[in-house]
């Protein structure tokens, strides 16, 4: 049979400082970009390139039979009284343009006027298009989101991501240990931060579909962590003499083929989506692509080390009351019985087993 990996013994945890270093650099780069752009607005950019879903405003998709140049289009849109419209030709569909218009009317004005902004943009763009001939240009789609709704969607996107993470934390804590849950969730959170950071650096638009992609990658990522944790749990019963450090390395190595095959296959499908999925799906597929790469990486590089480090701390903290309890002849409830799952044999190999 064709075999990808066989009998590999890589000391993954030994490289944890290197891995965690990379992760911190990536996170800092993303955050640095967000903070820098938020403060100084280089070339008019913001911390994140939020789409209309989260910022409010209107996007009009227009199809031309005989497309004008972007400049001509801009001139006629300026003339219709829309300032600072962003005109973006859709690369894979010649003749189609996305016209992004900020919320019409200053936000401080009365409710009814900001309200008018939701529909006014479409009417104004429609007016501008008339100059290209009645049958030449056609509005094929609009997305208009008012200020209140965009704020709601923003809050909701953050709330659902956090809710999903909490759900995972609770379930993993229930099935394994809470340290495992925390390690998996920190790893996922790290992936989300790195992905958002890259979105800030490259100014890729963040819209509702990107949130769907982030939720998808949260799913993939935690899936990876659980596969390895599951193996750790199993190996701890089989190899009682091994330390958690060794067991974790062993488990990562044993599941490595699976990790590479699964992630590789999903990666291939997502690359297909990036290349063929079209402009509308592009932010979505790019978020998935980054998520797959960092999600696979962080299971080995982040979730494992954090879990081992944390378990050791818990073990060290448990040893002291346990020793005190032994001295006074009272058994401590926190001291696990020999052979109980996970916590037994953490740290140095235990001779008692």
Tell which positions 172-231 bind other proteins, by CB under 8 A. 172, 175, 208-209, 211-213, 215-216, 218-220, 222-223, 226-227, 230-231
Contact criterion met (CB below 8 Å) for 22 and 190:
no
| Least distance in angstroms from the C-beta of 262 to other proteins | 4
Task: Phi first, then psi: give them for residue 286, nearest 5 degrees.
Answer: -65, -40
Residue of the chain from 83, 111, 329, 340 that contacts other proteins (CB under 8 A): 111
Binding part of the chain for other proteins, among 18-26, 64-72, 137-145, 305-313 by CB under 8 A, reads 137-145
Q: Which two tokens stand for residue 275?
A: 């290349």
Residues 6 or more apart whose CB falls under 8 angstroms from that of 208 comprise 51, 53, 153, 157
Binding part of the chain for other proteins, among 157-165, 189-197, 245-253, 313-321 by CB under 8 A, reads 157-165
In the bound state with other proteins, the residue whose beta carbon lies nearer, of 34 and 266, is 266
In the bound state with other proteins, the residue whose beta carbon lies nearer, of 147 and 322, is 147
| Least distance in angstroms from the C-beta of 42 to other proteins | 31
Find the binding residues for other proteins in span 228-287 (CB under 8 A).
230-231, 234, 254-255, 257-258, 261-262, 264-266, 268-270, 272-273, 275-278, 280-281, 284-285
In the bound state with other proteins, the residue whose beta carbon lies nearer, of 229 and 315, is 229
For the chain, how are helix, strand and coil distributed in percent, rounded to 5?
Answer: 65, 10, 25
**Interface size with other proteins, residues (CB under 8 A):** 78
Closest by alpha carbon to 170, among 248, 236, 222, 230?
A: 222
Residues 6 or more apart whose CB falls under 8 angstroms from that of 148 comprise none
In the bound state with other proteins, the residue whose beta carbon lies nearer, of 212 and 314, is 212
Find the binding residues for other proteins in span 43-72 (CB under 8 A).
61, 63
For every residue of 35-103, which 3-state class applies, written as one string?
HHHHHHCHHHCCCCEECHHHHCEEEEEEEECCCCCHHHHHHHHHHCCCCCCEEEECCCCCCEEEEEECC
Binding part of the chain for other proteins, among 80-88, 166-174, 304-312, 337-345 by CB under 8 A, reads 166-174
Report how far residue 305's alpha carbon sits from residue 15's, in angstroms, rounded to the nearest whole number. 9
Residue of the chain from 105, 119, 322, 350 that contacts other proteins (CB under 8 A): 119
Q: Is 128 near other proteins (CB under 8 A)?
A: no
E strand residue ranges, the chain: 49-50, 57-64, 86-89, 96-101, 137-145, 205-206
User: Which pairing describes strands 49-50 and 86-89: parallel, antiparallel, or unpaired?
Assistant: unpaired
Q: Which two tokens stand for residue 100?
A: 């992004």
| Least distance in angstroms from the C-beta of 248 to other proteins | 16
Q: Is 171 near other proteins (CB under 8 A)?
A: yes
Binding part of the chain for other proteins, among 73-81, 139-147, 198-206, 324-332 by CB under 8 A, reads 139-147
In the bound state with other proteins, the residue whose beta carbon lies nearer, of 38 and 65, is 65
Find the binding residues for other proteins in span 303-322 (CB under 8 A).
none
For 273, counting Cβ atoms within 10 Å of its Cβ (0-12 exposed, 13-18 middle, 19+ buried), the class is middle
């Amino acid at each position: 049979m064709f075999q990808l990996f066989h009998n590999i013994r890589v000391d993954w945890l030994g490289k944890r400082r290197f891995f965690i270093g990379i992760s911190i650099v990536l996170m800092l780069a993303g955050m640095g970009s967000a903070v820098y752009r938020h403060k100084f607005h280089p070339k008019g950019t913001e911390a994140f390139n939020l789409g209309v879903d989260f910022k409010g405003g209107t996007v009009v998709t227009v199809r031309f039979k005989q497309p004008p140049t972007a400049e001509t289009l801009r001139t006629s849109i300026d003339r219709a009284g829309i300032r600072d419209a962003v005109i973006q030709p859709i690369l894979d569909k010649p003749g189609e343009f996305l016209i992004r218009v900020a919320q019409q009317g200053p936000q401080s004005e009365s409710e009814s006027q900001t309200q008018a902004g939701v529909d006014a943009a479409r009417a104004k763009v429609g007016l501008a298009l008339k100059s290209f001939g009645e049958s030449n240009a056609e509005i094929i789609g609009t997305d208009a989101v008012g200020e209140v709704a965009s704020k709601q969607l923003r809050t909701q996107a953050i709330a659902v991501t956090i809710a999903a993470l909490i759900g995972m934390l609770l379930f993993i804590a229930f099935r394994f240990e809470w340290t495992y849950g925390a390690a998996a969730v920190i790893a996922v959170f790290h992936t989300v931060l790195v992905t958002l950071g890259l979105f800030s650096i490259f100014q890729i638009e963040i819209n509702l579909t990107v949130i769907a992609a982030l939720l998808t990658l949260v799913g993939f990522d935690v899936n990876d962590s659980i596969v390895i944790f599951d193996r750790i749990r199993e190996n701890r019963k089989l190899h009682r003499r091994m330390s958690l450090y060794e067991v974790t390395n062993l488990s990562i190595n044993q599941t490595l083929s699976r990790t590479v095959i699964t992630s590789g296959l999903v990666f291939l499908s997502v690359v297909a989506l990036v290349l063929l999925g079209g402009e509308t799906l592009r932010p979505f597929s790019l978020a998935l692509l980054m998520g797959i790469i960092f999600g696979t990486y962080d299971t080995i590089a982040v979730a494992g080390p954090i879990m081992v480090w944390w378990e050791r701390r818990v073990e060290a903290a448990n040893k002291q009351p346990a020793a005190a309890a032994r001295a006074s002849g009272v058994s401590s409830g926190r001291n696990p019985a020999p052979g109980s799952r996970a916590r037994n044999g953490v740290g140095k190999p235990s001779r008692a087993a």
